[in-house]
Amino acid sequence: MPTLINSLNELRDELLDDQEPIESQDDLGIAIQVQLNFGRLTDFVKNELSELSPIQKIFYDALVYSETIFELYSEIAFDGLESIFYNKTGNDIDKLRTVLHDNKSPISELFDKAYSLVDELFDIKPNENWVMRNLDKNPYETLSDDVINSIESIANQIYEMQNQVDRLAFEKALNMARQTS
């Protein structure tokens, strides 16, 4: 895996490339995955984060937000919003919520609302996901029709905001790339 600083520099250069710049949130999400060999920015260890200058740290945080938004919308599109709550550990869900809150994402409250609907039903645990604890169960049998309908409604609202959320995440990363160049 490349070093964090090298990865940030490569992503900055791709964002600011005069010939073929990254021009959308989707392209940035894919570029992050390719740059990190399908790893995650948050996989870097704390000592690498401490080596970043303050402006590089802000750029890193902007890219983490962009990566989170890209993954969130991908997961909702492929498996549905509810799948996040049974496929991810409580720690992973908390990290996602923290990134949304810290970046004042317009979908933060909606995501929290969905979380509150399933938290107790899936008995979300820090280091385990529901599926691994319940290999013989169907997660949809755990949810009532009312909860499923509510989550679908929230997912639709989150989807309606995708263009706005994508634009904000991309612009934040692009602006920070400009400041680090």
pLDDT for residue 46:
66
- Return left, alpha or beta for 104; rule: phi > 0 is left, psi -120 to 50 is alpha, else beta: left
d(CA 147, CA 149): 5
**Where do we find the tokens 């399908």?**
38
Q: Which of 144, 142, 84 is nearest to 115 (CA)?
A: 84
pLDDT for residue 161:
95
Partners of 125 in beta bridges: 128
Q: Write out pLDDT tens, residues 159-168.
A: 999 999 999 9
Residue 2 sits at φ, ψ, to 5 deg, of: -65, 165
Domain of 129? 4-180
d(CA 172, CA 167): 8
d(CA 125, CA 49): 27
Q: Write out pLDDT tens, residues 89-108.
A: 999 999 999 999 999 999 99
Does the pTM surpass 0.75? The reply is yes
Per-residue pLDDT at 2 exceeds 70: no
pLDDT for residue 29:
86
Per-residue pLDDT at 131 exceeds 90: yes
The amino acid that residue 10 corresponds to is E
Domain count, the chain: 1
CB 173 within 8 A of CB 15: yes
**Where do we find the tokens 């991810």?**
88
Q: Write out pLDDT tens, residues 24-73.
A: 888 888 888 888 777 777 776 667 888 888 989 899 999 999 999 999 99
d(CA 168, CA 158): 14
The amino acid that residue 7 corresponds to is S
Average pLDDT (84-90) is 96
Q: Which of 33, 110, 34, 44 is nearest to 68 (CA)?
A: 33
